[in-house]
Amino acid sequence: MARYEIKGGNPLQGTVTISGAKNAAVAILPAALLVKGKCRIENVPDISDVRILLSILEGLGATVEHPCDNVIVLDCSGISSTQPEAALVKKMRASYYLMGSLLGRFGKCHVALPGGCSFATRPIDQHIKGFKALGALVEETEEYVELAAGKNGLQGNRVCLDMASVGATANIMMAAVLLPGQTFIENAAKEPHIVDLANFLNTMGAQVTGAGTDTIKIKGVEQLQGGTYAIIPDQIEAGTYMAAVTAAGGDVLVKNVIPKHMDCITSKLEEMGAEVINYDDAIRVRSTGKLHSTTVKTRPYPGFPTDMQAQICVCMALAEGISHLTESVYETRFFGYCTELESMGAKIEINGKTATVTGRNHLKGSTVCARDLRAGAALVIAGLSAEGITRVENIHFVERGYENLIEKLTALGATIRRIDD
């Protein structure tokens, strides 16, 4: 099993360019399945989740070209199968988007239940509720979900989500764009990648309005045609590098970001003592050498993202004083990394949804194990900040979501290598 070996203690210096957003890419690629024609998709991150999705689409009959780095030309016109390969679907969470896109295009599908990061029970009842509202009959087992148009066919409808689920919002949007009538998604998620998905669909001819607010309106169209679209920069990858500079020290220009998407993360890092300067499409983060404690509660966008919980926890572990970190999206997420951080010297007490972190002025290298994608990223940050050598095992999780992590960190002066056993 591959692992990272990190020699900590080097401050990070220089420039890092952020890749396209993983969570947007893993929604937009399945959405391309709704399009009859060639979609040229730019700024696609080269990460394992994207590679798996492309294999699934090829298996269904799509043609995939890579004219150059980070650009994919996808033609799903020839797809006829509605049953993606279960073994591949189970490898990642976002494969659940195939349900919405296949249902939208073909009126039916048979999709294995997804895998991916298991930092919590991750139900899909809201996705199913949406599909049913659009007229789908649903057969759900422990292994798969089968959807088919009911006797009145599929048509637009009003769906009010019980919680602002990112996955359900995107899935219902995909299922609805080609249906007759209008669909309203109430209590919709507002994450940047929801807006990106809507922008992609609209570029291809859909009529989606309101993305980024809590009501999304979809006016069904008969067909989507091909076009060119560039994926937004990855908010969480950018936040991860910003947290790394805050924890390990240094001065880094984080390029290819949308500073507005970073506001909530930026303000917490500033509170902790980092200096942050926003430019049009870049952010400079400079550590001042001193970290202060803070209080963070994760929330749906525009709140502090749950996907940055573990990374900010490392900053808290190194800050002066006691910090409080409350998780309100996935309660069990702390268990993915807190014990590992403790083995590096962090002092963390978990009580229900809140972790109380008593800061120390240093962490020490250790052998730690990534249990999910963001937990793995946090352990890398901890390794960069720690004295001595840290070995991060189970790095396939990290590789699901961070493009060229080793190259990017090495260019910033980190001592990190990937070891294949």
d(CA 286, CA 273): 9
Distance, in Å, from the CA atom of 78 to the CA atom of 59, rounded to the nearest integer, reads 11
Asked if residues 290 and 273 have their Cβ atoms less than 8 Å apart, the reply is: yes
CB of 280 to ligand UD1, least distance (A): 26
User: In terms of CB distance, is 196 or 393 closer to ligand UD1?
Assistant: 196
In angstroms, give the least distance from the CB of 65 to ligand UD1.
Answer: 24
| Sequence-ordered list of residues with C-beta below 8 angstroms from that of 267, at least 6 positions apart, any chain | none
For residue 391, the minimal CB distance to ligand UD1 (Å) is 26
Query: For residues 399 and 48, is the Cβ–Cβ distance under 8 A?
Result: yes
Q: Are 269 and 285 in contact (CB under 8 A)?
A: yes
Q: Is cis: bond before 302, omega within 30 of 0?
A: yes
Q: By the 8 A CB rule, do 301 and 324 touch?
A: no
Nearer to ligand UD1, 162 or 407 (CB): 162
Q: Residue 356 CB, nearest distance to ligand UD1 (Å)?
A: 22
Name which of 23 and 390 has its Cβ closer to ligand UD1: 23
Of 127 and 217, nearer to ligand UD1 (C-beta) is: 127
CA distance 210 to 352: 35
Are the CB atoms for 14 and 202 separated by under 8 Å? Answer: no
* Residues acting as catalytic residues: 117
Selection from 275, 231, 322 nearest residue 44 by Cα: 231
How many CA atoms lie less than 13 Å away from 208 in the CB half-sphere? 31
Question: Which C-beta is closer to ligand UD1: that of 159 or that of 248?
Answer: 159
Question: Which residues lie near ligand UD1 (CB under 6 A)?
Answer: 23, 26, 93-94, 122-127, 163, 165-168, 189, 305-307, 329-330
Q: Which residues contact 403 (CB under 8 A, 6 or more apart)?
A: 19, 45, 46, 47, 237
- For the bound state, the minimum distance from the C-beta of residue 418 to ligand UD1, rounded and expressed in Å, comes to 23
Q: Which is nearer to ligand UD1, 29 or 274 (CB)?
A: 29
Nearer to ligand UD1, 124 or 384 (CB): 124
User: Which single residue brings its beta carbon nearest to ligand UD1?
Assistant: 167
Rounded distance between C-alpha atoms, residue 204 and residue 229, angstroms: 9
Least distance between ligand UD1 and beta carbon 193 (Å): 6
Q: How far is the CB of 228 from ligand UD1 (least distance, A)?
A: 23
Q: Measured between alpha carbons, how far is 300 from 321 in angstroms, rounded to an integer?
A: 27
C-alpha to C-alpha distances, 214 to 174, 187, 217, 300, 388, nearest whole angstrom: 17, 5, 10, 11, 47
3-class DSSP assignment, residue 351: strand
